[in-house]
Chains A and B, each alone.
Chain A
Amino acid sequence: MSSRRTDRITAVILVLVGAFFVIQSRSFASASYGSGVGPDLFPIILGIALILLSIRLFYETFHYQDEKQEREDLDWKRFSIIVGSLLLYVMTLEIIGYILSTFLFLVIAIQTMERGGWLKTLLVSAGFSIGIYYLYVQILEGTLPPLPIIGW
C-alpha cells in the first residue's frame, strides 16, 4: 500500500525530525561528568540513525514498482467529523463536565457512523456517560470534571 509520494514526503519529514533531535541535543550541557557520556549521546546517535534510515527510505522509493492507479475509497467526511468532535470533546471536557461532553460526543459520533436510530443512540450515550461517571466518581471515588452549577 505504500505509495511513492507519501514515502518520499515522510522521508523528508523524518530527516528534519532527526536533524532536530541532533541539533537540540548539542545544546545540552554535554559531558556533565568525566567520560563524555552525557545526556546528548543517545539522542544524537538516534537522530543520525533516523536521518540515515530516512535517506535509505527515500532511495528505496526509486525501486518501487509502478503502482496501479487503484485509489481507495475512504470516508474522509465521516473521519473529519468524528476527529473534529473528538477535539471539541477534549477541549470542553473540563468546562462543561464529563457527563455532558461525553454524551454530546457519543451522540455525534454514533450518528456520524450511521444515521438514524435516535432513541437507541440517546440511550447508549446517556447510559455510557452517566454510568461511567457514577461508577468512577461515586463507587471508585475518583475525580472527573463535574457538570457546572449542578456539580455532578
Chain B
Amino acid sequence: MGVIDFLWNGFLVALQPDNLLFAFIGVLIGTAVGVLPGIGPMSGVALLIPITATLTSGASAEEAASSAIILLAGVYYGAMYGGSTTSILLNTPGESSSVVTTLDGYQMAKQGRAGSALSIAAIGSFVAGIVALIGLIFLAQPLSEIAIKFGPAEYFSLMLLGLCAVSSFAGKSMTKSLIATVIGLLLATIGMDNVSGVARFTFNTPVLYQGLEFLTVAVGIFALGEVFSTILQKNKEEQAIAKVGRVFPTKQDLKDSAAPIARGSIIGFFIGVLPGAGAILASFFSYIAEKKWSKNPDSFGKGNIAGVAGPESANNAASGGGMVPMLTLGIPGGGTTAILMGALIMYNVQPGPLLFEEHPQVAWGLIASMFIGNLMLLILNMPLVKIFAKIIETPIKYLTPIIIAISVFGVYAVQVETFDLYLLIFCGLLGYFFAKHDYPLAPLVLSLVLGPMIENNLRRALTGSDGDWSIFVTHPISLGFLIVSALWLLIPIILKLRGKKVIINDES
C-alpha cells in the first residue's frame, strides 16, 4: 500500500462520527486552553487524558487509542490557535509560544485592527498546520524505515540525545534541567522491574508495584502545579480587552502576510522536528527572519501584520513537526508531545518505528484527523473569535477550584484509588516548587516517559555485549548520536562562556 492508501484509510478512521466529535471537542477545548492564561497546552493535555480515558472506555483498545489521540492532539494544536487571541487582545500571551505575537499583534489591536490580526493568525495557523502535515506524511515513512534498523545500542543513544536536547534548551540553568531529567528517570524506576521481576523502591506497598501512574504524575505536576501558583498570586487587576472589530482581513493584509505565512510554516516545521526546539523557538526565529527580510524593519513592533502572520504560522507548524519524532522514532521532542506519547502508551500503543506497521489505524487516523481538526479550527476561529475572546473573562475564582476538581475526578475515575489522589497533591506541590525555582518540567515528564525504554535498551545492549560498555561507541550510528548529545550539552556552555545570551525554550 502506498502513502495515498494509508492516508485514505486514515480518513476513514477520522471521519467516523465519534472521531469527528472527538476532534471537534479536542480543538474546541484546545482553543479555550490557549485562550485561558492560567493553563497551558501541557496541563490542558494532561488534564484531558483521564477524561478521554473515561470517554473511550467502551471501545476496543485500538479504537480507544485512536479516538483518544485524536482528541488530545486536537487540544495541542488547538492551543496554538487560541494562544494568539490573548496575545493580540490583552497583550498577555495565553501560552508561551505566542509571546512574540504580542509585539505586533497588540499594536494592531490598539490601532483597531484586532480582527485582521486574529484572522491572519488563524489563516496562518491553518496553512502551517497543513504544511506540517504534508511534511509529516512524507517524513514519517522514510524515518520509520531507518529507525527500524536500529538495535538497542542505537536506541539508547538516540533517547539520550533526545533527553540532552530537551534539557539543554529548557530552563535557565542547565544543572537544574539535568536534575529534573534525572529525577524523572528515577521516578520511572519505581515499581516492578519488567525484566527481573524485582520490586524496586516500593516499600512492599502493593499500589507501588505498578509504578507511579504517568497520568497522575502529569496531571499533578502540570495542572495542579499551575493552579497552585495562581492561588498563591494575589488577585491582579482586570485588564481592558481590546475590541475585536472587523473580523476578515483586507486584501492588502492577505497580500502582506502570504509570504510570512509560507516562510513561517517551513521554518516552524523543521524547528519542530528537531528535538528540544519546539514552538517557542520557532515563533521567535520566524519573527527575527521576517524582520530581517522586511523592506522596512522599523515598522516591526508598531503593528506590522507580518510580525503576527510569521510567528503564528511557525508555532503551529512546529507543533505539527513535533509529532514527527514522537510518532516515527518514539522520541518526543518536548513536554507536550511527551504527554501525548504517555497517553498512547497508556493504551498499549507504543509510538516508534513499528507504529505505522502495527497500528496504522492510530497513526494515519491521527494524521487525517489533523487535516480535519485544522479545518475545524479555521472555521471556528474566524467567525467565533469574538466568543472565544469572551472566555478570557472567565473569573479565575471559579476556574481554579474547578480545575482542581477536574484533576481529582479524572485521576480517581481512571485509577479508583485514593493513593493516586495523595500522589496527585504531592506532585502538584512538587510541580509548583520546581516551576517556581526554575527546574523545567518538560525534561522531567519526557524522562518519565522515556525512562523505562532507556533502561530497557541499555540493559538489552549490555546483555548482548556481555556487559561491555564499548558497544555504544563501536556502533557508528550510536557513536554519532552520543557525539551529537554531547555537543548539545556543550555548545550552550561554550556560548555562555563567550558571553552570548542563550535562548531558552520554556514551555510551561
Q: Which residues of A contact B (CB under 8 A)?
A: 1-3, 6-7, 10, 14, 17, 21, 24-25, 28-29, 32-39, 41-43, 46-47, 49-50, 53-54, 56-57, 60, 73-76, 78-79, 82-83, 86-87, 89-91, 93-94, 98, 102, 105-106, 109-110, 113-114, 124, 128-129, 132, 136, 140, 142-144
Contact = CB atoms under 8 A, between A and B. Distances in A.
Among the interface residues A41, A57, A113, A144, which one has the most CB atoms of the partner chain B within 10 A?
Answer: A113
Contacts of A53: 175, 178-179, 182
B498 interface: no
Interface in B132-148: none
B404 interface: yes
A38 B193 CA distance: 10
Interface residues of B, number: 56
B198 A43 contact: no
Contacts of B293: none
B233 A142 contact: no
B400 A113 contact: yes
Given A24-B201, A54-B179, A46 B186 contact: yes
A75 B233 contact: yes
B345 interface: no
Given A2-B437, A144-B412, A32 B196 contact: yes
A79 B433 CA distance: 13
B155 to A, nearest CB: 15
Contact of A109 (B54, B172, B401, B418): B401
B55 interface: yes
A75 B231 contact: yes
Contacts of A49: 178, 182
Q: How would you classify the secondary structure of chain A's contact residues: helix, strand, loop or mixed?
A: helix
Contacts, number: 164
Interface of B: 54-55, 57, 172-173, 175-176, 178-179, 182-183, 185-186, 189, 193, 195-196, 198, 200-201, 228, 231-235, 395-398, 400-402, 404-405, 408-409, 412-413, 416, 418, 421-422, 425, 429, 436-438, 454-455, 458-459, 462-463, 466-467
A89 B186 contact: no
Given A82-B401, A90-B425, 19 more contacts: A1-B438, A6-B437, A28-B198, A39-B195, A39-B196, A42-B189, A46-B182, A50-B179, A57-B176, A74-B233, A75-B232, A83-B425, A102-B405, A102-B409, A105-B404, A105-B405, A128-B402, A128-B405, A140-B55
A73 to B, nearest CB: 6
A107 to B, nearest CB: 9
A116 to B, nearest CB: 10
Given A50-B186, A76-B232, A114-B235, A142 B397 contact: no
Nearest to B180: A53
Contacts of B405: 102, 105-106, 128-129, 132
A90 B176 contact: no
7 contacts: A14-B179, A42-B189, A87-B425, A102-B409, A114-B235, A140-B54, A140-B55
